[in-house]
C-alpha cells in the first residue's frame, strides 16, 4: 500500500516536473544517443537508461541520473559517437537539473535510513576512553581492524561487526584501564557517618554509568552493578577496588560499547535529546559528549536552534575536533592509506623516509583542521596560496625558512602548489613505486574531488611499464596516449588522463620536476569539454569552474560520515538541498556541518515498521 502511494505521488509530481517535456523532448534524445550502450541489449558500466520512463523511476536511482547529468555537462557522453545537437543536449540537461535539484517535496521519499546498532569504532573507542577515564592509552590499537563501508568510512554502522576475538579484547582491557585511572576520577564520595558503604558505591556507580552510557540510567541497571560491588566487597577487597570491579561491568556493557538508540513507535520519529547529543559528539569528535553538551541536554534545550548552533560552533573550535579532520578528511581524501598502500622505491627515492611520510600524512589533516577552526571556504581544498608543513616536508617542496618537526602555515611561492591534489600525500599515494601515474591521479580527482568515478577497467587490459623510461621511442605519455586509442579504453581515459597529465610536474613523491628521462615535462591537457591547460595551476583553475559538482560531492561524503552509512536514493533531495545552501554560503565549513546536524536524517530514526514515509 505504501509503495503504491509512493508511486502515485511521484507520478503526480512528474506532471509538475514536465511529463510532456520528458516524453516529447528528453526520452527521444536518450533513445537516439544513449540506449545503444545503456539500453536493453547492452548496459555499459551497469547503467540502464531505458528503464526510466517517468519521474518515479528516476527518483528510484537519482545517483545514477546525477552522474548522467555530469557526463552531459562535460560533453563526455557519448564518446566518439554522433553527438546530440547543442539544443538537444541543453534540453536534457535542463530537465535533469530541474528534476534532481528542485524536487517536489511530495515526490521524494523522506526516510531517515535503515537503523543499525552502531558499535564504537576503534577510533571512537580510544577517544571515548580518553574522555571518560582521563587516560590516553589507545587500547583499541590492539583490536582487529574496522572494515570500510558505504561512503568509504570505517565508522559505517553496517560493517562494524563484533567478532568473538573483539569481545575477548574488551574483557581483557577493562580491568587494565580502570586500574590506570586515578581514584578521584572514579570515586566522588566515600562511606561515612551519614552514608553507608552501599549508598556511597551507588552514588559513584550512578555518576559513572550516566556518562559511560551517555544517557540517564534505569535504577535496575544500577542495582545489577551494585551486585558486582557486593561480590567484591564480600571477598574483602578495598572500597575502591570493589567499585572498580563493578565498573568493569560498565566497560563491557553493550550500552557502553554500542551507541544504543531506541525506536519510538511504528513510524519514523525524532531521536531523543541524549541520542542527538551522541550523534553530534561522535560526528565532530569521534567521542562521547562533554560536560557542557551533557548540561544542555539534561536541561532539555539542545534542540533549540540557537543552542544547537552554539554547541556546534563551540565543538568545531574545540581541539577534539582534530578527530573530525583525521577521520573524515583522512578517509575521504584516502591519505590515511599512505602508510599501507604507498611504497616508493627506496633506491630511486631515498628521501622518502618515515619522517617525511608522516609529515605528508599530517599536511592535509592540518590543512582541513585549520579550515574547520577558521570556518574557511572548502574551495581552498581545490586551490590555496598556502599550506601547512614542517621541515622535512618544506625541504621536499623547496620552501625555505622552515625548521623543526612542528607544522606551521606557509605561504606558497606560486599556484602550482596549493590544494589537496598537489599535496605530497596524494601525489605519492597515486603513484607507482618507480613512477607517477597520470591515470591514478586523474582517477583520484574524479572520485575523491568531483564524485564522478569512472567504471572499472575492462578485463585483460595491457599494463604500462613500471618506470617512466621511453620504450620503443615513445615516452610514457605517448605510450598512454596510444593506449587511449582503444575503443574500450577511450571513454574513461579521456576524462582521467588530462587531469593526471596536469600533475606531471610532480614526481612520484611530490617533488617538482621539469624533465622526465631527460625530456621536458609535458603537463598539458585537454578536457572532454575542450578546455585546455598547461600545468597544475591552470588545471586547478578548471576544477574551480566545477565547484558546484565539488560541493555536492563533499556534501554527500560528509553526510555519509555523519550518518554512519552510505547515501541512499531517498537521501538525495536532502543532500542536494544542503549543497545548494553550501554554495550560497561561500562554501563555509560551519554551514555544511550545521545543515547536516539540523537535517531530517540526522535528527530522526525509522520506526519499528521500517517503512519510508513521505513528506507531508
At 61 the pLDDT is 73
Q: Are 475 and 405 in contact (CB under 8 A)?
A: no
Per cent of the chain over pLDDT 70 is 89
Q: Which of 428, 470, 215 is nearest to 335 (CA)?
A: 428
Q: Which residue has the cell 536541561?
A: 299
CA dist 128 and 377 (Å) reads 30
Q: Which of 47-61, 107-121, 597-611 has the lowest mean pLDDT?
A: 47-61
Cβ-based neighbour number of residue 337 at 10 Å: 14
Contacts of 93 (CB under 8 A, 6+ apart): 69, 72, 73
Q: Give me the mean pLDDT over the 536-545 stretch.
A: 96
pLDDT tens, residue by residue, 226-261:
999 999 999 999 999 999 999 999 999 999 999 999
Q: What is the pLDDT of residues 139-189, one digit of tens each?
A: 999 999 998 777 789 999 999 999 999 999 999 999 999 999 999 999 999
Give pLDDT tens digits for 270-314: 999 999 999 999 999 999 999 999 999 999 999 999 999 999 999
Asked if 141 and 126 touch (Cβ cutoff 8 Å), the reply is yes
Secondary structure of 8-67 as H, E, C letters? HHHHHHHHHHCHHHHHHHHHHHHHHHCHHHHCCCCEHHHCCCCCCCCHHHHHHCHHHHHH
Task: Please give the pLDDT value at position 53.
Answer: 65
| 133-139 contacts, C-beta under 8 A, 24 or more apart | 133/177, 133/178, 133/180, 133/181, 133/185, 134/181, 134/182, 134/185, 135/177, 135/180, 135/181, 137/177, 137/180, 139/173, 139/176, 139/177
Please give the residue that has the higher pLDDT: either 522 or 70.
522
- The structural domains of the chain, with segments of one domain joined by +, span 2-107, 330-457+467-545
Give the model's pLDDT for residue 6. Answer: 29
Region of poorest pLDDT, from 39-43, 266-270, 482-486, 547-551: 482-486
DSSP state of 155: T
Confidence of residue 55 (pLDDT cuts 50, 70, 90): low
pLDDT in tens, 483-497: 666 665 666 778 889
Q: Which residues pair with 533 in a beta bridge?
A: 525
The C-alpha angle 515, 519, 520, rounded to 5 degrees, equals 55
Q: Burial-class residue 5 by CB neighbours within 10 Å (0-12, 13-18, 19+).
A: exposed
Cell of 224: 545489577
pLDDT at 15 over 50: no
Q: What's the mean pLDDT when you consider all of the chain?
A: 88
Question: So what's the pLDDT on residue 590?
Answer: 97
Q: What pLDDT does 36 receive?
A: 79
Amino acid at each position: 500500500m505504501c509503495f503504491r502511494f509512493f508511486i502515485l505521488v511521484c507520478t503526480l509530481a512528474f506532471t509538475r516536473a514536465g511529463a510532456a517535456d520528458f516524453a516529447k523532448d528528453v526520452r527521444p534524445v536518450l533513445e537516439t544517443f544513449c540506449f545503444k550502450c545503456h539500453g536493453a541489449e547492452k548496459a555499459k558500466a551497469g547503467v540502464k537508461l531505458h528503464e526510466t520512463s517517468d519521474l518515479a523511476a528516476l527518483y528510484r536511482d537519482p545517483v545514477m541520473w546525477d552522474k548522467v547529468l555530469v557526463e552531459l555537462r562535460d560533453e563526455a557522453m557519448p564518446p566518439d559517437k554522433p553527438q546530440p545537437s547543442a539544443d538537444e543536449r541543453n534540453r536534457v540537461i535542463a530537465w535533469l537539473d530541474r528534476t534532481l535539484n528542485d524536487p517536489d517535496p511530495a515526490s521524494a521519499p523522506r526516510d531517515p535510513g535503515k537503523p543499525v546498532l552502531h558499535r564504537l569504532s576503534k577510533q571512537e573507542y580510544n577517544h571515548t576512553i580518553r574522555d571518560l577515564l582521563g587516560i590516553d592509552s589507545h587500547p583499541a590499537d590492539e583490536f582487529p581492524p574496522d572494515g570500510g563501508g558505504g561512503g568509504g568510512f570505517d565508522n559505517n554502522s553496517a560493517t562494524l561487526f563484533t567478532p568473538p576475538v573483539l569481545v575477548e579484547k574488551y574483557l581483557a582491557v577493562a580491568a587494565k584501564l580502570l586500574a590506570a585511572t586515578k581514584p578521584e576520577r572514579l570515586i566522588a564520595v566515600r562511606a561515612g557517618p551519614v552514608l553507608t558503604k552501599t549508598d556511597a558505591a551507588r552514588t559513584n556507580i550512578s555518576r559513572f554509568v550516566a556518562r559511560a552510557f551517555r544517557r540517564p540510567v534505569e535504577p535496575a541497571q544500577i542495582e545489577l552493578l551494585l551486585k558486582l560491588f557486593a561480590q567484591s566487597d564480600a571477598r574483602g577487597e578495598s572500597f575502591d577496588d570493589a567499585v572498580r570491579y563493578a565498573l568493569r561491568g560498565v566497560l563491557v556493557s553493550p550500552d557502553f560499547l554500542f551507541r544504543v538508540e531506541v525506536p519510538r513507535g511504528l513510524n519514523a520519529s525524532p531521536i531523543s535529546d541524549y541520542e542527538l547529543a551522541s550523534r553530534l559528539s561522535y560526528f565532530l569528535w569521534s567521542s562521547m559528549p562533554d560536560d557542557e553538551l551533557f548540561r544542555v541536554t539534561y536541561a532539555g534545550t539542545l534542540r533549540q536552534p540557537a543552542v544547537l548552533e552554539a554547541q556546534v560552533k563551540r565543538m568545531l573550535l574545540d581541539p577534539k575536533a582534530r578527530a573530525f579532520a583525521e577521520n573524515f578528511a583522512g578517509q575521504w581524501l584516502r591519505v590515511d592509506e599512505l602508510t599501507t598502500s604507498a611504497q616508493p622505491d627506496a633506491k630511486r627515492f631515498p628521501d622518502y623516509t618515515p619522517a617525511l611520510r608522516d609529515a605528508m600524512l599530517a599536511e592535509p589533516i592540518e590543512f582541513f583542521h585549520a579550515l574547520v577552526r577558521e570556518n574557511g571556504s572548502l574551495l581552498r581544498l581545490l586551490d590555496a596560496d598556502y599550506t601547512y608543513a614542517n621541515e622535512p616536508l618544506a625541504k621536499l617542496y623547496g620552501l625555505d625558512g622552515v625548521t623543526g618537526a612542528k607544522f606551521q602555515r606557509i605561504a606558497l611561492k606560486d599556484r602550482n602548489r596549493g590544494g589537496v591534489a598537489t599535496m605530497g600525500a596524494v601525489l605519492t599515494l597515486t603513484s607507482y613505486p618507480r613512477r607517477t601515474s597520470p591515470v591514478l591521479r586523474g582517477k583520484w580527482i574524479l572520485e575523491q574531488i568531483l564524485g564522478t568515478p569512472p567504471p572499472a577497467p575492462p578485463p585483460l587490459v595491457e599494463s604500462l611499464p613500471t618506470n617512466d623510461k621511453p620504450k620503443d621511442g615513445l615516452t610514457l605519455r605517448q605510450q598512454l596516449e596510444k593506449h587511449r586509442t582503444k575503443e574500450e579504453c577511450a571513454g574513461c581515459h579521456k576524462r582521467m588522463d588530462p587531469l593526471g597529465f596536469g600533475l606531471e610536474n610532480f614526481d612520484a613523491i611530490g617533488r617538482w620536476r621539469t624533465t622526465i628521462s631527460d625530456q621536458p615535462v609535458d603537463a598539458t591537457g585537454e578536457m572532454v569539454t575542450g578546455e585546455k591547460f598547461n600545468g597544475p595551476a591552470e588545471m586547478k583553475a578548471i576544477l574551480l569552474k566545477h565547484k558546484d559538482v565539488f560541493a555536492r560531492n563533499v556534501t554527500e561524503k560528509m553526510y555519509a560520515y555523519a550518518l554512519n552509512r552510505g547515501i541512499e536514493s531517498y537521501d538525495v533531495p536532502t543532500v542536494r538541498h544542503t549543497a545548494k545552501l553550501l554554495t550560497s554560503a561561500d562554501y563555509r565549513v560551519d554551514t555544511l556541518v550545521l545543515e547536516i546536524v539540523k537535517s531530517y536524517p540526522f535528527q530522526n530514526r525509522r520506526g519499528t515498521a521500517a517503512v519510508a514515509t513521505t513528506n507531508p
